[in-house]
Structure 1
Amino acid sequence: MPKLNIFVGTMYGGALDVAEQVRPLFEQEGYEVTIFEQPKLEDLTQNSADLALFCVSTTGSGDFPGNFVPFVRAFREQSPALPELRYGLIALGDSSYGETFCGAGRTLDALLEDHGATRLGERLEIDAMETFMADDEAVPWIEQWIESHQLKAA
């Protein structure tokens, strides 16, 4: 059974809600899914999975939420090579913050790419100014993502 690890960076629970709403979509396709609410770098580097999904909200001026800061700090310090990692990224933000909109997701995406990981498809950016419930955008995006990248395992 293929494995999917979902890494969550959230301040008020929106990104965690997205992770919990998309989990069954992967389980229906035959994946064993683990959600990391307090992710550690080891969860990414030592917990091998066929696929990773990052659900990350942005706080302040493009910053990572508190629960995700230790992960990013360790990532930058240890600089792991991730050539085997295939991932998707859902970034949550608020366009009223201008240039820092989805800043955490964009920064994470660049970090992963710089370390050899391969993003499948485009990053989904969800704007709180336009979408009240983030999973309203995330669920159809994940359905299309699974289909277009032939991620069905069942």
Structure 2
Amino acid sequence: MPTLKIFVGTVYGGALDVAEQVKPLFEEAGYEVDILEQPTLEDLVDPLPDLALFCTSTTGSGDVPGNLTPFVRALKERPPTLTALRYGLIALGDSSYVDSFCGGGRSLDALLEDLGAQRLGERLEIDAMETFMADDEAVPWAERWIAEQQLRQA
């Protein structure tokens, strides 16, 4: 059975809630799904999952939350080759912070791209100013992502 690892960066639990809400969609599509709240570099590369989903909020001046910081630091300090990694990304932010809106997700996306990973489809950016419950946008996006990227297993 193919594997999907969901890497979560959260402060108040919103990104974790999104991960928990989309997990059943991927299980129905034929994946064994793990949600990682304190991910390490080894969680990503040993072994490399068939598919990864990064779900992160933004904190500070456009940074990933503290629980994801060691993971991102490890990606920068010991950069693995991620050319075989296919991933999606859901970024949560607040557009009232104009300069740093979804900055955590955007910077992680750029880092993964620099390491050779292939993002499938577009990054979802959820604005807390427009969407009270992030999963209201994330669940339909995940359904479309699975269909458009032909991720459903036979």
Does TM, scored on the shorter chain, surpass 0.5? yes
Name the counterpart of 1:101: 101
CA distance in 2, matches of 1:122, 1:93: 16
What is the TM-score when the length of structure 1 is the normalising length?
Answer: 0.98
Work out the CA distance in 2 between the residues paired with 1:24 and 1:122. Answer: 21
How many Å separate the matches in 2 of 1:93 and 1:49?
Answer: 26
Q: Deviations over 1:50-94 (max 9, x none)?
A: 100000000121011010010011110001110000000000000
1:149 alignment counterpart? 149
Question: Per-residue deviation at 1:48?
Answer: 2.2
Q: Does 1:119 align with 2:81?
A: no
Structure 2 counterpart of 1:100, one-letter code: S
- TM-score, length-scaled by structure 2: 0.98
SS in 2 for 1:67: coil
State the alpha-carbon separation in 2 of the partners of residues 132 and 115 from structure 1: 33
Secondary structure of residue in 2 paired with 1:48 = coil
Structure 2 unaligned segments of length 5 or more: list them. Answer: none
SS of the counterpart of 2:107? Answer: helix
| Higher mean displacement: 38-47 or 86-95 | 38-47
The one-letter amino acid paired with 1:46 is D
Whole-angstrom CA distance in 2 between matches of 1:110 and 1:62: 13
Give the CA RMSD over aligned residues: 0.6
Structure 1 residues 1-154: aligned runs within 5 Å: 1-154=1-154
- Separation in 1 of the partners of 2:62 and 2:18? 19
In 2, Cα distance between equivalents of 1:86 and 1:64: 20
Instruction: Give, in whole Å, the separation in 2 of the partners of 1:26 and 1:140.
Output: 12
Gaps of 5+ in 1: none
Q: How many aligned positions are there?
A: 154
SS in 2 for 1:95: coil
Identity %: 75
> Normalized per residue, which structure has more helix?
1
Write the letter of the residue equivalent to 1:105: G
Give 2:5's aligned amino acid. Answer: N
Runs of 4+ in 1 over 4 A off after TM superposition: none
SS in structure 2 at match of 1:88? strand
One-letter amino acid matched to 1:114: D
